Amino acid sequence: MKPFLFDGYYFTIALANLTGHIPSHRIRNWVYRHIFRIQLAKDATLYGLCRFWMPWRIKIGSHSVLGDRLFLDGRNGITIGNNVSIGSETRIFTLQHDIDSPTFDTKGGLVVIGDNVYVGSRVMILPDVIIGEGAVLASGAVVTKDVDEWTVVGGVPARFIRARPKMKYQIQHRRAIFQ
């Protein structure tokens, strides 16, 4: 059995996680795009200290801003749309253990986040969930099911709070030099 650090897959994941410590977002995002093959739009920003599983299965659209200390589990794929804002310390899972399986097998699916979505800080999104366009996930929500377009959800588990007006949103974001 190979030691942990010399296994190519786990070594790659370790390097992707260490990349989050690079203090310049321009350099860090370049490494994410070109070394770890995250499909990160040129005008999108992924802030520091993020951790990953299979970053090469993650796609992030234009004008999207992802906060610091995220966990992105790309094993079954994550697609994040355009003009999405995701707060700090959010966790997105695409695979989990099946607690009803006698062998504790895994199950999961793709997570899709539509355009113009706002995800508050410390939100947890579980596998096989689709977040509709314009939805808002309140801080601390645990999203276990699909979220309809232009709605606000929150709580544990996340439940409908109210409808949101349909309009064109544009994230006004000024990147800090070192963040």
pLDDT at res. 63: 92
Residues known to be catalytic? 97
Helix, strand or coil, per DSSP, at residue 29: helix
Please give the radius of gyration of the chain, using alpha carbons only, rounded to the nearest integer. 16
How far is residue 2's CA from residue 20's CA, in Å, rounded to a whole number?
A: 26
Helix, strand or coil, per DSSP, at residue 125: strand
Render pLDDT for 91-141 as a digit per residue (tens, 0 to 9): 999 999 999 989 999 999 999 999 999 999 999 999 999 999 999 999 999
Map out the domains of the chain with their CATH numbers.
4-163 (2.160.10.10)
How many other CB atoms sit within 10 Å of the CB of residue 86?
26
How far is residue 60's CA from residue 50's CA, in Å, rounded to a whole number?
A: 14
Tokens of 53: 């599983």
pLDDT at res. 59: 98
Helix axes 8-19, 25-34, angle to 10 degrees: 160
Render pLDDT for 41-87 as a digit per residue (tens, 0 to 9): 999 989 999 999 999 999 999 999 999 999 999 999 999 999 999 99
More confident of the two residues 167 and 20: 20
pLDDT at res. 34: 92
